[in-house]
Amino acid sequence: MRDPEDLCRELGLDPSLAAAARPATADFPLLVPRGFAARMRHGDPHDPLLMQVLPVGAERDDVAGFTADPVGEQGTLPAPGLVRKYAGRALVLLGGACAVHCRYCFRRAFPYVEHGATTAGVEAALEAVAGDDSIAEVILSGGDPLLVDDARLGAVVRRLDAIPHVRRLRIHTRLPVVLPSRVTPGLTGLLAASRLTRVVVIHANHARELDGDVALAVRRLAETPALVLNQAVLLARVNDSIAAQTALAERLVEVGVVPYYLHLLDRVAGSAHFEVDEARARAIVESLRASLPGYAVPRLAREVPGEPAKVWLA
């Protein structure tokens, strides 16, 4: 779905919400799969899934400290399509497209073509990985790397298989959550054929995102085999409560996903209305620690430009 009026009509929402959303779509269009929209509560303008994807007027506010490149990525590309921020790891941008436009996305203004998220850029990135034996882990990202078709994705994985010093393949993707049908036998087959240790990091922010189809997609990925982790973002009025975070952690464990990171918001321009202050975030995680087993408690983290690793806060 690409039109705010269509989304609001589908959910039985006041047309004024669509009118308010339209100006913000000029900067970052609405995009949401119908299957994900079907998990939203009919008639509820405060539905936590809806609030992640519906544009609002506040996105156009100019807020101090919120920038187009909040984690400083654009200064960390040693080759087209390749991001190097942390020791031993390299991130390859397979493309700039996603199946959903999350309004808090830290790459919502990223100039993908300029920075090599193209076929030629991916080739240059793979050559750079092959020439640097300090790289043990390659992270496929984007956009969403699983929007690349199986033929192209398989070719990339086989190239990485042939680089002796690469030992691990990590895929960061929201598709198993918003478009679980993407986890096809073709996809799981090409992953299973790889010699690399596989890690798939999904992105779910609320327990209601994780329906039966998502659970099946996760199980298929895990059977390749792969370690499946979740990264969530703490978002005001979406999941910034002990109850919401507890439900998310418990549902993730139920479907076989390790709650890995709970991120503070990356301060990208247009997302200030989602920010949760650090003290509140710490209090939420401390409450989780008091009530959940350790394996179900995500690490609270923030990405700070120039730091050698993510900064753990709790």
pLDDT in tens, the chain (314 residues): 999 999 999 999 999 999 999 999 999 999 999 999 999 999 999 999 999 999 999 999 999 999 999 988 877 788 888 999 889 999 999 999 999 999 999 999 887 767 657 888 899 999 999 999 999 999 999 999 999 999 999 999 999 999 999 999 999 999 999 999 999 999 999 999 999 999 999 999 999 999 999 999 999 999 999 999 999 999 999 999 999 999 999 999 999 999 999 999 999 999 999 999 999 999 999 999 999 999 999 999 999 988 888 999 98
Query: pLDDT digit string (tens) for 169-220?
Result: 999 999 999 999 999 999 999 999 999 999 999 999 999 999 999 999 999 9
Q: Which two tokens stand for residue 144?
A: 């969403």
DSSP state letters, 61-125: ---TT-BSSTT-GGG--SBTTEE--STTEEEEE--S--SS--TT-TTTT--TTTTT-SHHHHHHH
| Residue-level pLDDT at 115 | 64
Residue 83 CA: distances (Å) to CA of 90, 229, 267: 6, 21, 19
Q: Residue 87 corresponds to which amino acid?
A: A
pTM of the model: 0.95
What domains lie within the chain, and their CATH numbers?
4-60 (no CATH), 73-312 (3.20.20.70)
230 closest CA partner among 197, 196, 211, 207: 207
Query: pLDDT digit string (tens) for 60-87?
Result: 999 999 999 998 887 778 888 899 988 9
Q: Residue 153 corresponds to which amino acid?
A: L
Distance CA 119, CA 156 (A): 11
